[in-house]
Chain A
Amino acid sequence: DTEVTQTPKHLVMGMTNKKSLKCEQHMGHRAMYWYKQKAKKPPELMFVYSYEKLSINESVPSRFSPECPNSSLLNLHLHALQPEDSALYLCASSQAQGTDTQYFGPGTRLTVL
């Protein structure tokens, strides 16, 4: 099973709202990632967690707050977003940090009004 699941599939939020995106994998992977993808562009790395610890933060604004409660779960907390933050947010996981295959989830389509 190489499935990464993400909820919700779609999210519409106002600039003053607080919401969270959820990602789950049951492949025993120890590295998990958040990416942001704008239309017709490649995914851009936001955060990497390795063994439940934040390993990479690609200078993402503080209105995005990641959390890794356990080895199977990854959350992205959203607060005071801007309309330009509207995008597809992708979660991925890999066996470990390094040159391992990254498996992507289907993404959450976020619209900020």
Chain B
Amino acid sequence: GNSVTQMEGPVTLSEEAFLTINCTYTATGYPSLFWYVQYPGEGLQLLLKATKADDKGSNKGFEATYRKETTSFHLEKGSVQVSDSAVYFCALSAGQAGTALIFGKGTTLSVSS
């Protein structure tokens, strides 16, 4: 079946460090891929998405490239800030538009000044 695997956290970084959070997926067909972020006490916010192979999603300095050959969608940011501390979820949507998302377990990022 369809699934998403994320690197386990927590990830602890100093401000301005480079961030990578690994995400790989298993899916039939051609899924859309997403990164959501959840700040403490809040719901999920869409961070970025990519809908086909080689697409790059980007937002707020975060980027992720849809790699079909490695079934990956790793999240990167060149210089993290304290305000980026949150839980990051990788997700896929494997069916038609609007099909329910399948999430990874989430990776907690903690950035210190």
- Do chains A and B interact in one complex? no
A-contacting residues of B (Cβ < 8 Å)? none
